[in-house]
Amino acid sequence: MSNLKVLHILSSPAAGGAEVFVKDMVINSKESGIDAGILFISGADNVGRSSAYQAQFLAELEQNNIPFFILPNNARRNIFQGYSAFKACIKYFRPHCIHAHLLAGIIYSFFFCPSIPRVYTHHSSIIKARPFIFKAIMKRCNAHIGISNICAQFLQQYLPKQKSCTVIHNALDKKRLCTPKNNNLTNKPLTLIAVGRISREKNYLHMLKAIVKVKKIFTDPFYLKIAGEGKETDKKQLREYINTHNLSDTVELLGNRSDVPNLLALSDIFLMSSAWEGLPIALLEAQFSGLPALVTDVGGCKELLDITEGGIVVPVNDADKYADTLLSLLSNSQLRDQLRSAAQLNINDFSIESCLQKHKALYEKQNISHYEN
């Protein structure tokens, strides 16, 4: 019997949690009896993202013999702009199932290949479409996935009564990460690392406000590195805050980086101050890397750390609590060691192999594997 063929639909080959997660999935799918490909709604440069990152992303797919397709410019706003390229992709790949990770993927597949079953994964705890539009699109899906319990509960309220959302946690491919190091054995200044797009969602100003408070109390030198691209207006706002509050000797904006695993391995504490999330891949990577984590209580962050016991969760937008907790982590090497050990012990619950088996079971439950196009 031939493998099940699944076409994943993503926004673009850009830096992001959903993109990294799907890349890990498709590269490892063959071992689970799935032939996977990816269709991107647009190129990275068409949405203001890094073309250099795209080149590396696509090269990795090519190295692993993963077929991929990119719709032409403006296909995101006008589905008829992408009609011919989308139909050509379907004809070439002949998927048994379309697995969309954004609403445009459901719209394209419903209008242009309605007989192919559709699965939708919701990667956040918010929606950006109007509720009635979102509900209408969800009705066109055969199955629904939330990447955390919080995401699934949120999505459930938009589903038809007869439909239920399945929880399949995000996962990671440990093979692409660096071996964790015990950085507490050195006497160097502690390095804090934050990974994620510079955007309103990641709420980096909240993090920097806490850094200002900590610097007034904690006299030893420490450094914060922020890895991620973003709009020029958002980056300018952060740079101005850094300069105004004399943080230039403490905070460094690294820009878009392709060596995140190495950055994590060389750091001591992972920070996240998001205003909303799904189940962050960067947090999973940090836990595997043995980094004690300080995160805000959004999306599946608390859910993840309740399992790994490798970090501390604080309320959203409470800069005082964030600063106090960060001060404890900086000051207490025993606390960091305790969180590090727990994270490395428990992170195996989020393996990509287990995740793929759960996806395959979902496909088969929906009789997707029996579809013949």
Q: Name the DSSP letter for residue 294.
A: E
At residue 273, the pLDDT reads 97
pLDDT digits (tens, 9 = 90+) for 35-61: 999 999 999 988 888 899 999 999 999
- Domain ranges across the chain: 4-171+351-370, 175-349
pLDDT value for 368: 58
> What pTM was estimated for this model as a whole?
0.91
If you average pLDDT over residues 326-355, what whole number do you get?
94
How far apart are alpha carbons 156 and 158 in whole angstroms?
A: 5
Distance CA 207, CA 216 (A): 15
User: Is the pLDDT reported for residue 228 higher than 90?
Assistant: yes
Residue whose entry in the numeric block shows the structure tokens 């969800």: 138
Q: Is the pLDDT of residue 182 over 60?
A: no
Q: What is the mean pLDDT of the chain?
A: 93
- For residue 323, is pLDDT > 90? yes
Q: For position 152, what pLDDT does the model report?
A: 96
CATH code, 4-171+351-370: 3.40.50.2000
b/e map 163-187, b = 16+ CB within 10 Å: eebbbbbbbbbbeebbebbebeeee
Residue 313 has pLDDT above 70, yes or no: yes
Query: What is the CATH number assigned to the segment(s) 175-349?
Result: 3.40.50.2000
pLDDT-derived band of residue 178, with 50, 70 and 90 as boundaries? confident
**Where does the pLDDT of residue 186 fall: very low under 50, low under 70, confident under 90, or very high at 90 and above?**
low
Same fold, 4-171+351-370 and 175-349: yes
Task: Using pLDDT thresholds of 50, 70 and 90, give the confidence band for residue 66.
Answer: very high
pLDDT of 369 strictly over 50: no
Strand partners, 195: 227
